[in-house]
Amino acid sequence: MSLSPDRANFSTAWAPAKVNLYLHVGTSGPGGLHPVDSLVMFADTRAADRIHARPAPHVSLSVEGPGARQLKHAPNNLALAAAMALRDACDRTGLGAGLTLHKVLPIAGGVGGGSSDAAATLLVLNEMWGVEFGEAALERIAVQLGSDVPACVRQRPLVMRGTGERLIDVAAPDLPAILVNPGIMLETRKVFDRFDRMGVNRTFREMEPPWGEGPQELAAGLREYRNDLEPAALALCPEIGRALKLMQAQPGCLLARMSGSGPTCFALFGSDAEAAAAAAAISEAKQKYWVKATIFRGAPPVPVDD
């Protein structure tokens, strides 16, 4: 198969951190899956993995970067699974690609690193292979790969509902922020198991997401929401609590909370300068922590059809 020059040059996609600004979780249903209601935003490229693809006879994957060692013996990488799923979906078995994953995001960190890698792989190969599936088709493939992958295909502010398959685009401002992982991996399954044992959220209901024209307003609205998995994660990993206290103590911190199933936490600030200063201070105080200053990328109001 020959590639056009444009498609041959489209070989890199970013896989940004996915952050749950709030995460409400209900009682598990069929298959043990829990309904969720969550406002999700995505970091900029300072807190992102990167997928590089080149034409090749077969599909293969190599991993480099700070997180490569932890993935060395992982039996099922989602980026590779995404490539196979896209190839199967377009029914063109002869397609190949040499994939390189530059791994920066924490493994088992609660920021959807593997899911974002899979989504970025779908996006870059959809273009490079000339498949030309639209976003809805890519999201249908993404559902097969994991509950967070469809949201990561969009890479814009949205509310996740159901078990992750119902996505609603929302407006949000850019949010200066930091991401902090206390250097610990935490399996999602273990957090949900502890959550179930601690007592499910019987008051679960879907809520309208908060709105704010700037970081201060949105952070104020988010204080009325929560991450239901945080108590379970804290019980398994007390270091999360120490990380949150350190983040809350930084000048200009508007809100600090755990993302997803943890242990990575985020803090919102009113300016890039405040976020950068906080990241520098925490990095100096806790050298074993993974710390990134970033911006959670916003989006304008969703157009309403007449």
- Parallel, antiparallel, or unpaired: how do β-strands 59-64 and 97-102 relate? parallel
Place of tokens 């970025």: 120
Cα–Cα distance for residue pair 95/86, rounded to 1 Å:
10
For 89, the token pair is 């979906």
Cα–Cα distance for residue pair 272/297, rounded to 1 Å:
13
Contact at 8 Å (CB) between 183 and 263?
no
Catalytic residues: 18, 148
Place of tokens 């077969």: 58
Place of tokens 């950068």: 276
Short-list 3, 20, 303, CA closest to 164: 20
For 5, the token pair is 């020059």
Terminal Cα-to-Cα distance of the chain (whole angstroms): 44
Short-list 22, 43, 17, 36, CA closest to 210: 22
The per-residue DSSP string of 81-119 comes to: HHHHHHHHHTT-TT--EEEEEE--SPTTSSS-HHHHHHH
For 231, the token pair is 């108590």
